[in-house]
Chains A and B, each alone.
Chain A
Amino acid sequence: MNPNKKRLRRTMMFLNAQKPGLIKDPYIYKPDSIMLDLEDAVAENQKDAARFSLYHALQEIDYRGVERVVRINALDTPYWKEDIRCSVAGGCDAIRIPKTECANDVKLVESAVEYAEREFGRPKGSVLIMAAIESARGVMKALEICEASDRLFGIALSGGDYTKDLQTHITGTGIELMGARQNLVIAARAAGIQCFDTVYTDLENMEGFRQDVQNIHLMGFDGKSIINPRQISIVHEIYTPSEKDIIFAEKVVTEIDTKKAQGIGVFTVDGKMIDIAFYDGAKRTIELAKASGVYKGDL
């Protein structure tokens, strides 16, 4: 398995691949991933130029460990195959498929990526894939999409197109996205991959953004797509475990390891009943604390 499949992805920042001013130094804002966009952000008559810009940015700019994902054009356009050739040759870390509606969409891209890896001498499996779900059909097919490829590290909800398909609109309350959000998280977890939430476009309403992130964090999402550097610190803050959470997680892991050796399955930690079912969650809290740079323990 590609070791980056499970990496930390709290924030994925969209950037127009055609704009040199945007793609030259986004690492200074420290998002976990950048999403270099060849799709909606790029005008129809600039699709060709955007690829040259993307290729050289991937080749020559040191993004300092920030993951570089490329959003290719949709599979019903004439652009996506060359988008993949350019991205894989450039050295991208992952490809994002827009408007994914079924497992076959993922398989088509997987096949083109594999071909490009051979063509440009990259190791097989080095380029990961993620799928954006943007329609009611996509939501209903989420599990088969999640299980379509070993390269698939996650799925993402794209709220704008999804709400249009649902014949509603983004309200800011999240009501219109509830079903899709829940369905996608469940499908992703069932398949053992990550799940990312849609963008929040009202940059004037940072309190609304904070509430939105708190909600999706509680729902189980791994991270959020973002459109402005100002949104990064809020997401990272909400996704960083508190000191109290970390101390409790440490106690849970240590106690489960100790009690298991003693043949004890159920016990209490700080007055709460604990058994093996808490182990993975506690380990995840510690891993997240490590990845967020706030863990000082030795587990």
Chain B
Amino acid sequence: MEIKKPAMAGTLESSDCQVTVEAGEGKIDLELNSAVINQFGNQIRKVTFETLERLGVKDVKITIVDKGALDCTIKARIEGAVYRSLEQTEHLPWGGAIR
């Protein structure tokens, strides 16, 4: 899956996170900003890389501003940003690449 245009999903409200994706430079480049980075930084990175792998995204610059989001919210926002970038809103692979 190729990220062609920049896209964003999520908010800066408590329990949410804001995810931005844009075309990468041949690899996954993650920038993470979180008030709980010392406690949960590794977990957020793990969820991020797993989600991108399921989506087949290998080349992306992804920025996450976390406001205490649960794993399920992080996944939802990454998927939201990626599919916005692809401009796909229908016939989504629920239970497949999205799970």
* Cβ of B79 to closest chain A Cβ, rounded Å: 5
The residue that B89 contacts in the complex, of A48, A60, A61, with Cβ under 8 A, is A48
Chain A residue nearest to B82 (CB atoms) is A52
A20-B69, A82-B89 known; A52 vs B98 contact (CB < 8 Å): yes
Chain A interface size range: 20 to 34
A contact residues around B95 at 8 Å (CB): 89, 120
A contact residues around B33 at 8 Å (CB): none
The answer, yes or no, to whether A53 is at the interface (CB within 8 Å) is yes
A-B contact count (CB 8 A): 70
* Cβ of A98 to closest chain B Cβ, rounded Å: 19
The answer, yes or no, to whether B60 is at the interface (CB within 8 Å) is no
Q: Are A55 and B80 in contact (CB under 8 A)?
A: no
Q: Are B13 and A52 in contact (CB under 8 A)?
A: no
A59-B99, A60-B72 known; A52 vs B90 contact (CB < 8 Å): no
Cα A21 to Cα B12 in complex, Å, equals: 11
A contact residues around B83 at 8 Å (CB): 48, 52
B contact residues around A146 at 8 Å (CB): none
* Cβ of B78 to closest chain A Cβ, rounded Å: 9
B contact residues around A59 at 8 Å (CB): 72, 99
Chain A residue nearest to B99 (CB atoms) is A59
The answer, yes or no, to whether A172 is at the interface (CB within 8 Å) is no
Cα A81 to Cα B84 in complex, Å, equals: 18
Chain B interface size range: 20 to 34
A contact residues around B72 at 8 Å (CB): 56-57, 59-61
The residue that A56 contacts in the complex, of B76, B89, B92, with Cβ under 8 A, is B76
* Cβ of B31 to closest chain A Cβ, rounded Å: 20
A contact residues around B76 at 8 Å (CB): 20, 49, 52-53, 55-57
The answer, yes or no, to whether A30 is at the interface (CB within 8 Å) is no
A21-B16, A49-B10 known; A56 vs B84 contact (CB < 8 Å): no
The answer, yes or no, to whether B50 is at the interface (CB within 8 Å) is no
B contact residues around A56 at 8 Å (CB): 72-73, 75-76
Cα A56 to Cα B77 in complex, Å, equals: 10
Q: Are B13 and A19 in contact (CB under 8 A)?
A: yes
Chain B residue nearest to A89 (CB atoms) is B94
The answer, yes or no, to whether B14 is at the interface (CB within 8 Å) is yes
Chain B residue nearest to A56 (CB atoms) is B72
The answer, yes or no, to whether A141 is at the interface (CB within 8 Å) is no
A19, A20, A51 — most chain B CB neighbours (10 Å): A20
- The interface of chain B, by Cβ under 8 A from chain A, is 9-10, 13-16, 69-73, 75-77, 79-80, 83-84, 89-92, 94-95, 98-99
